[in-house]
Structures are given as structure tokens and as C-alpha cells.
Amino acid sequence: MSPLRTLALGALVLPVAAYANDPYSYAQPDEVRVTHLDLKLKIEFPQRKLEGEATLTLNWKDPKAAVLVLDTRDLSIASVESVDAAGKTAPLTYALAPRDKQLGSKLTIQTPQHPHEIRIAYSTSPNASGLQWLPPAQTADKKLPFMFSQSESIHARSWVPLQDSPAIRFTYDAQVTAPKDMRVAMSAPNDPQHPLDGEFTFKQTHPIPSYLLAIAAGDLSVKETGPRSAVYAEPSVVGKAAHEFEDTEKMIATAEQLYGPYRWGRYDLLVLPPSFPYGGMENPNMTFATPTVLVGDKSLVSLVAHELAHSWSGNLVTAASWRDIWLNEGVTTYVQGRITEALYGKRQADEEDLLSIHALQRELGEMPENAQRLAPKPGNIDADDTLSDVAYSKGSWFLRTLEQRFGRETFDNYLKGYFDHFAFQSITTEQMLDYLKPNLIDKYPGKMSWDDVKAWVYGTGVPKNAPIPDSPRFDTIDKERTAFLAGTLSADKLDAKDWNTQEWMYFLDGLPDTPPLAKMQELDSAWHLTGTPNAEIGMRWYVHAIAAGDKATWPAAAEHMTRIGRLYLTMPVYRALSKTPDGLAFAEQVYARAKNGYHPLTQQAVEALFAKAGKR
């Protein structure tokens, strides 16, 4: 880990993690930085690998530097060479270090002559942590195989040798060869009219960090949803997805009214197979999204609002390290709420805020103190583990507090200025605070003290005066849930016919950890929750039904776990089953059937859970 230093803000002294080099990267950007990537790749589905060349343009910072250090994980390096201005190449000496479990293998290239470009010929492993390969049987239409990447947080190094740190931004060009009849998509402007001729080219002219490098290939159709947006998905899914996401252009326009122009050109959505481990990934120009949000009533399209909001917070202004990731996710979650409120009303936005607040409050009690900080102190935290409810929910709660204290119009103007000031830069928490103090806190004295700001950013838990929105609908649900559990209101008399997804989520979240079996059976009989196609509701239902001891729900829970690879919707059901010997044995049987359809990140999470449950 890098040493601590201090940064003076006015008369106050705040701790800063001074990452001269990212602790999750071997790169040495103070000596040399990659400024451009030129990729030539061939997608080899039978071998489950990418093969090709990565040409890196270099900006040498230190005249004494003699090596270029890159991040890799499980890559086979065929050759490394320098490339001069005339295109002439010369071999370079390199060494690939033994594999570190978290960081991968350091690639050290001898570069005493400081070449302008270096070219690496390589291929990926079939087990690359940032790629998933699906056979036709595991796709929606079962016609062609499918491949997609997930580079966040430090998985880009498993499919491209590069400086894999959010502090380092680069532009890129790519030439990708794929089987004919397949469409390739990347995190760059995509042409919806591109012929399926097996040759695709991409050009990302805006500098992006490595975790936003993305690729996918498969049987993809396209349906445009606006003048600058389209949905990409398998043919049987694309129509449903286009209907669900038909408000995309309205979302873009709403965000532009609030925070300035959308600077990326096109904004497209790629709906992946259900094995995608996350809800969505904000890859520039092409959000990768889970099909679990396609429920038919637009109740879960806040996911699109969230990924679109990253076009300002995260993609435009990027956290410089994973320690600062709340600058991406917390700010984005706040902006998501503003888009949701503008398009779907304050009721839905407030309900979503309350759900996130309650989830955070439950999780904080189980977290070590350092993990409760928006900007944690340096420590042994896995890069993937920084993406917790603290970054998302506590971060957005902090911004809602700023909005309340300073007023919406004032805070909107501040945030718009923040995006403009740091556009296309990667910044630390302390740089954000350096901007916040003169441009908001000091500019409008008496609204919020600097001690309050420090408590939010560097303190544990959540300040006691944090504002919580009201929800009359949730208050009514609380009363009905209490009456139902007490036996004074039968399940079929719950006023749930018109509950939206968020309201069902809230009702189920408020059930006891181990509810009475008879009550769960009564609830299921009245509302047919077992087998629901809504994965948000299903996950919560199966967790409670399993805890109640209702083995009749296990087959449907298994179908849910097999069909969905999204960590957030699958892991709670595995955890619920793993609490008893019989449940653990059943969960292991389900996993044996589902494993090959899971992303490597999901496989790792399930296997770690089983190892812990076995020891218990």
C-alpha cells in the first residue's frame, strides 16, 4: 500500500491516500502512461479465447525510466516489440512474473530507448476472469454462441495487457474479426446498420479508464429507440427490451437539462444473457444490461437511469482509485434518482431511496468500521469489495443531504459545474473536496459545516441528522405487514393488487428473518409468489420462504438460481439455503447444474460461500 500524507483544506487537515501508484495495479504512471490503445483481435469461439495484438502509445514522464510495467492476468504473451514512427519494429526483452491471486502477473518490458509505441502479440485464457463464453444452449435463442466482457474492477488485464488503473485514461481503436452472422459491440460508438460480415472496427475518441473497456459478440439484433439510442439483444429479446427501454431518449434529455450535454454521441444498450453478474455496466456508448429488468412495466428501468447517469459521473468524471469509487457510484445513484423523479414521479424515486437506505442500514451493522467510510483508510480490501452499499447508498445519501441543505437549484448548478470542471479526468476524494469547499460550502456559509462534510466522507456509519424521505405508501404497507403477521389481516386481504415492484420489495424486506411457515404458505396461496418472473420479488420471496422451512419452494428457487447469474439476485438464495445441512446439499446440487452458465465472478462467489458454510 502507498503511504499516507495530509492535504490542508482551509484550516483543516484531512487524511489522504496518496496513491502515486494504484495499489491494485503494477503500473508506474509517474514514469510512463499509456495514452492510446490499438487493438486487433480475433474471436475464437471453439478455443474460448481472444487472439491478437495490442499496440500501446506511450507518454514518457521520467527520462530515467528504463522499463514499462503492465498488468496482465492469465495472458499468453507471444512477442513484444517496439514500433517507431515509420512503423519499423524491433523485439524487446520482457519478463512475466508469477501470478498473484488478486493482481495477476506483472509484465515488465525493457524499454531504455523510450519507444513511442510497443506492440504485444498475445492470447487470452479460456478461464479469463473478465470474459464469459456461452455455448448456444445458454443463450436465449440457442442459435449461436455468445461472449462478453466485464472489466470492472480489475479484470480488463485478463483480456488486454495494459495499465489497469482507473487513474489512467486512454483512447482506443479496435479491429475485431468474428464469425460471420455475428455482431460485435464495444464500448465505443456502434453502428446499428453494420453488416454482419465478420469484420468490425471501433473508435473511442474520448479517453477512458481500463475498466470501461468492453466487448461482446453474439446473435444480436438491433432496434432503435431514438435518434441517438438503440437496443441490442438476441432476436427473441430485442422487441421486449426496446419496449421496456423506450424512454431512453427522454432520460438522456432529462439528464442534459440537469447537468449539461451528453458528450459521448450515441447511447446504446446491450441486453446480455442472464448470466451477466451485475445489473448493468456503464461502458461508454454501450451500457451492458441484465435481462432481469425486463419485467414489462418499466418498474426497474431506474437501472438504465443509473447507467446513463454514469455518462456524467464515472465515465466523464472518474474515481482515480477504487478507494474513491463512491465518486462514481454515489454521485451516479443521486443523479439516477433525479432522472427517475423527473420521468416517473417523486413517489417512485422516494421509494427507491428508502429501499437503498434500509438496505444500507442493515448492512452497516455487519461491516468493519473502515468499510463504512466513503473514503476508507488504506487497508487490505479487495478491489471488487469496494463496490458495496456504502459507495452507492451512503454516497447518494450524502449528496441528497447537500441538496437539502443548499437547495435544489443551488446544488444542481454546483454539480453541473463539477462535471464541467473535471470532465474527462480521474480524481480523488480529496480533489473533489478541494472543489466542494470553495464552490459550495464556503460560497453559501451557514448551510453546512465542514465538520459535517468530514463526518460523511471519513466517518463510520451515517450521521444522525441524515434526511430520510417520506413514503405514505410504505407507511401503509408497514401497517398491513404488521397486521398480517399478527393474524388480524389475512393474506388475501392485503391491498397489494396495485403494488409496484418497489412496494413488494419493501413488504418482503420487512418480514422477519425467520417468518412463520404458515404465514409464508398463506401469502403464497394468495399472491402466487413462487415462480414469479420478477427476479427482484423472487429473490426476496425465496430467501424468506427458505428461512421459514418451506421446502415446497425449493424447486422454483433452484430454477431462479439456474436462470439468473446476477450476483445480487442469486447469492442471497444460495446463502439462505446454505444455513442448514439439507439446504447446503441442495444448493450444491443446483450449483453443479448451473455452474457452466455462470460468469467466473459468480462462480467465485458461490464457491467461497460453500467453503465458508462447510467450515461452519
pLDDT band at residue 241 using 50, 70 and 90 as cut-offs? very high
131 plus 210 within the same structural domain: yes
Backbone angles phi, psi at 255, to 5 degrees: -65, -35
pLDDT at 18: 36
3-state secondary structure of 571: helix
pLDDT at 13: 30
Q: Which of 436, 458, 480 is where one domain is finished?
A: 458
Identify whether the C-beta of residue 360 lies closer than 8 Å to the C-beta of residue 351.
Answer: no
39 plus 129 within the same structural domain: yes
358 plus 392 within the same structural domain: yes
Identify whether the C-beta of residue 164 lies closer than 8 Å to the C-beta of residue 27.
Answer: yes
542 plus 428 within the same structural domain: no
Is 311 inside a domain boundary? no
Is 298 inside a domain boundary? no
Written as one string, the DSSP assignment of 208-224 is EEGGG--EEEES-EEEE
Q: The CATH number of the domain where 397 resides is what?
A: 1.10.390.10
pLDDT at 308: 97
357 plus 452 within the same structural domain: yes
Q: Is the pLDDT of residue 354 over 50?
A: yes
pLDDT at 14: 30
Identify whether the C-beta of residue 77 lies closer than 8 Å to the C-beta of residue 92.
Answer: no
476 plus 453 within the same structural domain: no
The C-alpha cell at 52 is 491478437
Is 238 inside a domain boundary? no
For residue 233, list its beta bridge partners. 221
Q: Which of 407, 424, 458 is where one domain is finished?
A: 458
Instruction: Tell me the residue range of the domain where 50 lies.
Output: 32-219
163: nearest Cα among 29, 325, 18: 29
pLDDT at 384: 60
Provide the sign of the torsion angle of the four alpha carbons 450, 454, 456, 461, taken in this order.
negative
Give CA–CA dist 3/19, Å, rounded: 8
Provide the sign of the torsion angle of the four alpha carbons 400, 405, 409, 411, taken in this order.
negative
pLDDT at 365: 87
Give CA–CA dist 372/362, Å, rounded: 12
Distance of CA 120 to the CA centre of its chain: 29
One of 259, 267, 392, 542 is an active-site residue; which one? 392
Is 22 inside a domain boundary? no
Is 229 inside a domain boundary? no
162 plus 194 within the same structural domain: yes
Regarding beta strands 215-218 and 146-149, do their DSSP bridges make them parallel or antiparallel, or are they unpaired?
A: antiparallel
486 plus 419 within the same structural domain: no
Q: Among 35-39, 286-290, 550-554, 593-597, which is the least confidently predicted range?
A: 593-597
pLDDT band at residue 189 using 50, 70 and 90 as cut-offs? very high
Identify whether the C-beta of residue 516 lies closer than 8 Å to the C-beta of residue 366.
Answer: no
332 plus 437 within the same structural domain: yes
Residues contacting residue 56 through CB under 8 Å, at least 6 positions apart: 34, 36, 37, 38, 70, 117, 118, 119, 120, 162
Per-residue pLDDT reduced to its tens digit, 440-454: 999 999 999 999 999
Per-residue pLDDT reduced to its tens digit, 78-134: 999 999 988 899 999 999 999 999 999 999 999 999 999 999 999 999 999 999 999
Residue 392 annotated among the catalytic residues of the structure:
yes
> What is the percent of the chain with per-residue pLDDT over 70, rounded to a whole number?
95
Q: The CATH number of the domain where 611 resides is what?
A: 1.25.40.320
pLDDT band at residue 3 using 50, 70 and 90 as cut-offs? very low
pLDDT band at residue 300 using 50, 70 and 90 as cut-offs? confident
pLDDT at 538: 97
Give CA–CA dist 477/144, Å, rounded: 46
User: Could you give the number of structural domains in the chain?
Assistant: 3
Length of the chain counted residue by residue: 616
pLDDT band at residue 386 using 50, 70 and 90 as cut-offs? low
The C-alpha cell at 145 is 454462441
Per-residue pLDDT reduced to its tens digit, 307-337: 999 999 999 999 999 999 999 999 999 999 9
Per-residue pLDDT reduced to its tens digit, 466-511: 999 999 999 999 999 999 999 999 999 999 999 999 999 999 999 9
394 plus 422 within the same structural domain: yes
Identify whether the C-beta of residue 216 lies closer than 8 Å to the C-beta of residue 187.
Answer: no
Q: Is the pLDDT of residue 288 over 50?
A: yes
Q: If you average pLDDT over every residue of the chain, what do you get?
A: 94
409 plus 329 within the same structural domain: yes
pLDDT band at residue 275 using 50, 70 and 90 as cut-offs? confident
234-247 burial code (b ≥16 CB/10 A, e <16): beebbebbbebbbb
Is 363 inside a domain boundary? yes
Q: The CATH number of the domain where 199 resides is what?
A: 2.60.40.1730
Residues contacting residue 592 through CB under 8 Å, at least 6 positions apart: none
Residues contacting residue 500 through CB under 8 Å, at least 6 positions apart: 297, 299, 348, 351
Per-residue pLDDT reduced to its tens digit, 403-448: 999 999 999 999 999 999 999 999 999 999 999 999 999 999 999 9
Q: Which of 458, 480, 498 is where one domain is finished?
A: 458
Q: What is the dihedral of CA 161, 166, 167, 168, to 10 degrees?
A: 30
Is 62 inside a domain boundary? yes
437 plus 498 within the same structural domain: no
Per-residue pLDDT reduced to its tens digit, 145-185: 999 999 999 999 999 999 999 999 999 999 999 999 999 99
pLDDT at 2: 25
pLDDT at 492: 97
pLDDT at 563: 92
Provide the sign of the torsion angle of the four alpha carbons 361, 363, 366, 372, taken in this order.
negative
One of 307, 341, 430, 536 is an active-site residue; which one? 307
Q: What is the 3-state secondary structure (H, E, C) of 498-529?
A: CCCHHHHHHHHHCCCCCCCHHHHHHHHHHHCC
Residue 44 annotated among the catalytic residues of the structure:
no
Is 7 inside a domain boundary? no
Give CA–CA dist 456/374, Å, rounded: 7
Identify whether the C-beta of residue 291 lies closer than 8 Å to the C-beta of residue 308.
Answer: no
